[in-house]
Amino acid sequence: MDVKDQSRGRLTKDGIRIYEATDFAGMHKAGRLAAEILDEMIEHVVPGTTTGKLDEIITDKVEAAGAKSATIGYKGYRHASCISVNHVVCHGIPGDKLLKDGDILNIDVTVIVDGWFGDTSRMYVAGKPNRRAERLMQVTYDALMLGIDAVKPGNTFGDIGHAIQRYVESQRMSVVRDFCGHGLGRVFHAPPNVLHYGRRGTGAVLEEGMFFTIEPMVNLGRPETKVLGDDWTAVTRDKSLSAQYEHSVGVTADGVEIFTNSPAGKFHPTWG
Ligand code: MF3
Ligand code: CO
Ligand code: CO
């Protein structure tokens, strides 16, 4: 990473980088590629395929676009995606796991384009989901969008978390506390931790030029998770189904820009 690039803009007292107006274009380009790759994965998610095959396709697409995967080599991770099936909350490692009819899965891709990071994930179904799984995915999607609605200068990160938590709990589902969103831009993970729960008016104040992800994980059962022996795969402790949606966003003068919108308009729904 170029040290000069790291020092562009300024840092707030909370250590959050404020990017410049011209930096939005770089984030849009990276975000669009990540979203396009997720669009192109829809047709490949079918019963009988494996998460490893899906990851191979993603690896090829990143390379074909002349981009780089942010996850290959990240803290020893070796794949271009995380694929989290059913009760896997996040960071599922692609492998020989066979998908069967009704499985729901999150595919999370982060690419680097011209030094900018685009990080997004969404839900897929192999075959046809059952009604509870469908409802879980719908609530998780709506929770992300309500969180994004709370993004504008003067609001706080607590406002985002509160909007998500309030809605999810009103639907009798639970918000995972053990993982959060993050600042990003010229780096993958930067301050702040973007919590998906919280109280109104708490946390750092949002300012124009902040770039970060919102990526709520929602469980049908209890919120607790545990990480498996592979040191990556996080699952629900009670084995209940879990879902996640993630966008990378930037704060504008009067609101928010989503960098990872689906060019095909297929971020949601993918199942109907
Ligand atoms: N893309 C994930 C996120 O949303 C991070 C994956 S890191 C990996 O922050 F190493 F597990 F790939
Ligand atoms: Co992320
Ligand atoms: Co991600």
- What type of residue is 61? K
By the 10 Å C-beta count (0-12 exposed, 13-18 middle, 19+ buried), 50 is classed as middle
CA of 210 to the centre of ligand 3 (A): 17
**Tens digit of each residue's pLDDT (9 = 90 or more) over 124-140:** 999 999 999 999 999 99
Contacts of 60 (CB under 8 A, 6+ apart): none
The protein residue whose alpha carbon is closest to atom 2 in ligand 1 is 108
Closest atom of ligand 1 to CA, residue 232 = 11
Dist CA 270 CA 125 (whole Å): 7
Select from 74, 93, 111 the residue to mutate for testing ligand 1; criterion: most ligand atoms less than 8 Å from CB. 74
The protein residue whose alpha carbon is closest to atom 12 in ligand 1 is 71
CA of 2 to the centre of ligand 2 (A): 22
pTM: predicted TM-score of the whole model, two decimal places: 0.97
Select from 51, 188, 195 the residue to mutate for testing ligand 1; criterion: most ligand atoms less than 8 Å from CB. 188
CA of 256 to the centre of ligand 1 (A): 23
**Tens digit of each residue's pLDDT (9 = 90 or more) over 206-265:** 999 999 999 999 999 999 999 999 999 999 999 999 999 999 999 999 999 999 999 999
Per cent of the chain over pLDDT 70 is 96
